[in-house]
Amino acid sequence: MLVCHCNVISQSEMEDLIRGLLDEDPWQLIVPAKVFRAAEARGKCCGCIPNISATISKVVEAYHRDLDSAERDVAALMQRLAAFGTRQEVKQYARRTRSNRKAQRGPVS
């Protein structure tokens, strides 16, 4: 199954890239941009970012389960990953111009 149609990256290739990054440093914070860099690609339409984020979470959790890492360490890493995703969503919303926020628009005359 293709995860990124723009760069033609499959699910299995994406998982292999993530595992390769984890082999370098099992406790690093892996984000979609880091995976794209490892694939020598870049996000074009960025419609795949939610799928890549979900794949990262799944692979990181499975990797540490296989590594027999302490449960609290894995939980802390997953919380850092979730917090990063939340910060990115807030930044994306903050980039909208004031006129694009419907709730803040005045009545139409």
- Kindly list the domain boundaries of the chain, sorted by start residue: 2-96
Calculate Rg over the CA atoms of the chain.
17
CA distance 99 to 37: 35
- pLDDT digits 0-9 by tens, 75-105: 777 777 777 666 555 555 555 555 555 555 5
Coil, strand or helix: which one is 107?
A: coil
Which of the two residues, 103 and 1, has the higher pLDDT score? 1
CA distance 26 to 76: 13
